[in-house]
Structure 1
Amino acid sequence: MKRTARTRLGLKFITTTGAIALAVGLAGCASGSTAPAGDGGSGEAADDLTVGVAMPTETSERWINDGQAVKSQLEEAGYGVDLQYANDDIPTQQQQIEQMVTKGADILIIASIDGTALASQLEAAAAKGIPVIAYDRLINGTENVDFYVTFDNYEVGVQQATSLLQGLGYMDAEGKDTGLKDKKIIELFAGSPDDNNTAFFFNGAMDTLKPFLEDGRLTVGSGQTSMDQVATLRWDGATAQKRMEDLLTSTYGGGSKPLHGVLAPYDGISRGIITALQNAGYGENIEAGLPIVSGQDAEIASVKLINDGVQFATIFKDTRKLATEAVKAAEAYAEGGEPEANDTETYDNGVKVVPSYLLESDIVVADNIQSLLIDSEYWTAEEVAAGVAE
């Protein structure tokens, strides 16, 4: 019978005289908590436990923030942390995880580059009794992923499409159909095909757009509506810009024909799209004719564009909250328990349904930057004005 994550981690700390209990408090709990005995036997402090944290890249502001948030919260809770970024290179991430396992990481938190490329690394982790927490991106094709922390990714897609429809005038601030009968033209972009979240985002968005496409109020000018046609490998902004330029040439007369909106799944992609649109002469702001463009991740450069009336919206996924849930999951395993899941049905990785904890996200437009981002101290007013993180 396959060992559970709880059993596997417990076995790491069994000595010849029996298991030694662990008491690791959350950040802010009383100091002096003890961790389980290591392979050598006697009780150890929490900082004698190491959590390996594998993040995909430092080219995205979002992942830099995630990595630092996870690291700081783990360290505050008393853990040692091995944080590695893989520069969007799959072999690099595989090697980093292999090294974490070899060096004796007690728990792994992994935001994968390719959710299907880590089976052998996680098999090695399981052999050593190391629980694996998938962070924001589900790891597929293996039984050796124990828990998943993420946002409600289908709902994120719904919000992306909702923001596009709001910007186009088809939905009001409450997400209700305004009854606008005008016919408008849009284009669709999706994320990286090797990221499990991409399909959730795209399906949520398309289900939301479907009634407007079916009744003819919306038309995809290029006719490219399948995820295979609109995906953007590695979520790369330059790739998105090139595709937008090609679409403008092939479908929009190089910028001479109307285009009213673009579904964009991530702020880096949004900025590439906007650059192509502006270069084609679609205007310097929304009022002057720049199409409505959605986004995701509330990156500071895009928040400034929203504040300036260039990009219409983004989806705010508070990475501090996601990091907190990852740390809670790690602590549950360290204490010999199981993390609390609020979804045990949705995330099937092809081998098992992975117990998950889902967080909520928010649509950000110019009118709520203050309340959602500045008041919560995610960004400062000065950073929003400059478009640069301090």
Structure 2
Amino acid sequence: MRARWFVAVMTVAATLASGCGGSTGDQQGGGDAPTIALFLPESKTTRYEAFDRPLFEAKVKALCAGCKVLYANADQDAAKQQQQVEAALAQGADVLVLDAVDASAVASLVNQAKQKKVPVIAYDRLISGISYEYYVSFDNVRVGEMQGQALLDALNKAGTAASGQIVMLNGAPTDPSSADYKNGAHKVLDGKVKIGREYDTPDWSPDKAQQEMEQAITALGRDNIVGVLSANDGMAGGAIAAMKRAGYTALPPITGQDAELAAVQRILTGEQYMTIYLDIRTEAEQSAELAVALGRGEKPSAPTKVNNGTADIPTFLLSPTAVTADKIKDTIVKDGFYKAADICTAGPVAQACAKVGIQ
């Protein structure tokens, strides 16, 4: 089985390698064209395949035409990701950019890279238990605070903060970012609203979030739920499906994150209250710049450090943006994250776009 995985990953890596000509950087710091391996955790969340991967690969190519990018997606399988990383190291990757499926359990993989003198960048999720070169992500506690504050503002505006209960749908327990989002939200919400049910959702799965929301509706009663704190847009979609199925005529405010296209459309039509817009372009491009620099034997300075329980990791933390319907035009559309034509497709969405001046 292990041999078959190795061959499969080698085939995928060779197929997906980008760039041409020049040295492939067989040794650490091996010239101007290193081999960079990018590992993403899953594909259920739209951002990874639609944005993170292509933006990262494009930036590497722009900085280093001869660089090779090996790419693999673990499909939320930690064992599969381990095989992918080991295969890339065996192939001679000069730099690893790793968004871990289980960030608390990959220290052994980072250690394998260390033994080969291959630097590691923790991408989006903070790897714990070992030191490494860089961490690039967003201010995750701030994300949770923004979600909590947006929900609280909506409840106060509706006059329902003290009259009902909210449901919290947190992210995967294997993702340390989930704990940060949850902590940030609790900082804002605790003592101000009653949390009727709270779930840590395996795999960030929209289907599992739908099941959790169905359980909450059954336990609390449809009319007693006044808001939903969802840690991302995919799970928000699952929660909305559960509420529609339960017969809600008017949906309570629900939060999200990632500015997925379907979520942006839901915000415009009033089904979802807000999302957290992450400038994934900056995250991916910053990581690509660091990877190319590390592959060339350079080590740029970082603006801050984050302690991962073992070491202070040089860190680039990016700022999130809370987006409601009235802010989509001046953030998501203005930045070119989506074109107006992508969002304002037809019917109610097109009408909603016209109301907020998106055209």
- TM > 0.5 fold call: yes
Deviation for aligned residue 1:39: 4.5
- Among 170, 174, 179, the residue aligned to 1:190: 170
Please, which runs of 5 or more residues in structure 2 have no aligned partner?
1-21, 350-359
User: In structure 2, what is the equivalent of residue 59 of structure 1?
Assistant: 44
Where 1:160 maps in the other structure, the secondary structure is helix
Write the letter of the residue equivalent to 2:74: A
Query: Does the 8 A contact of 2:152 with 2:161 survive in 1?
Result: no
1:221 is the counterpart of 2:209 = no
Write the letter of the residue equivalent to 1:154: V
Q: Residues 1-390 of structure 1 correspond to what in structure 2 (within 5 A)?
A: 39=27, 44=31, 46=32, 48-64=33-49, 65-78=51-64, 79-143=67-131, 145-169=132-156, 183-212=163-192, 218-222=193-197, 224=198, 230-252=199-221, 255=222, 257-283=223-249, 289-344=250-305, 347-386=306-345
Q: In 2, distance between residues paired with 1:330 and 1:188?
A: 36
Deviation for aligned residue 1:37: 7.4
Query: Does the 8 A contact of 1:142 with 1:351 survive in 2?
Result: yes
Deviation for aligned residue 1:250: 1.6
Write the letter of the residue equivalent to 1:104: G
Q: In 2, distance between residues paired with 1:198 and 1:182?
A: 26
Q: In 2, distance between residues paired with 1:156 and 1:209?
A: 13
Query: Does the 8 A contact of 2:38 with 2:96 survive in 1?
Result: yes
Query: Does the 8 A contact of 1:185 with 1:261 survive in 2?
Result: yes
Where 1:169 maps in the other structure, the secondary structure is helix
Q: In 2, distance between residues paired with 1:161 and 1:38?
A: 48
Write the letter of the residue equivalent to 1:268: G
Write the letter of the residue equivalent to 1:375: K
Q: In 1, distance between residues paired with 2:25 and 2:291?
A: 17
Q: Which moved more, 1:56-65 or 1:200-209?
A: 56-65
Q: Which moved more, 1:312-321 or 1:57-66?
A: 57-66
Deviation for aligned residue 1:151: 0.4
Deviation for aligned residue 1:339: 3.0
Number of corresponding residues: 323
Q: In 1, distance between residues paired with 2:37 and 2:345?
A: 34
Q: In 2, distance between residues paired with 1:59 and 1:73?
A: 24
User: In structure 1, what is the equivalent of residue 352 of structure 2?
Assistant: none
RMSD across aligned positions (CA): 2.4
Q: Deviations over 1:235-268 (max 9, x none)?
A: 111111101101111221xx3x231101000101
Where 1:363 maps in the other structure, the secondary structure is strand
Deviation for aligned residue 1:181: 7.5
Deviation for aligned residue 1:335: 4.1
Q: TM-score, normalised by structure 2?
A: 0.84
Q: In 1, distance between residues paired with 2:28 and 2:107?
A: 29
Q: Deviations over 1:149-179 (max 9, x none)?
A: 00011101111111112222359xxxxxxx9
Query: Does the 8 A contact of 1:329 with 1:340 survive in 2?
Result: no
User: In structure 1, what is the equivalent of residue 5 of structure 2?
Assistant: none
Q: In 2, distance between residues paired with 1:321 and 1:157?
A: 20
Q: Deviations over 1:161-211 (max 9, x none)?
A: 11112222359xxxxxxx998534211121111101011111111001124
Percent identity, aligned pairs only?
Answer: 33
Query: Does the 8 A contact of 1:307 with 1:384 survive in 2?
Result: no
Where 2:248 maps in the other structure, the secondary structure is coil
Write the letter of the residue equivalent to 2:144: G
Structure number with larger C-alpha Rg: 1
Where 1:382 maps in the other structure, the secondary structure is helix
Query: Does the 8 A contact of 1:152 with 1:360 survive in 2?
Result: yes
Q: TM-score, normalised by structure 1?
A: 0.78
Where 1:292 maps in the other structure, the secondary structure is coil
Write the letter of the residue equivalent to 1:378: F
Write the letter of the residue equivalent to 1:261: G
Query: Does the 8 A contact of 1:69 with 1:323 survive in 2?
Result: yes
Structure with more of its chain in helix, by fraction: 2
Where 2:327 maps in the other structure, the secondary structure is helix
Write the letter of the residue equivalent to 2:133: D
Where 1:341 maps in the other structure, the secondary structure is coil
Deviation for aligned residue 1:119: 2.3
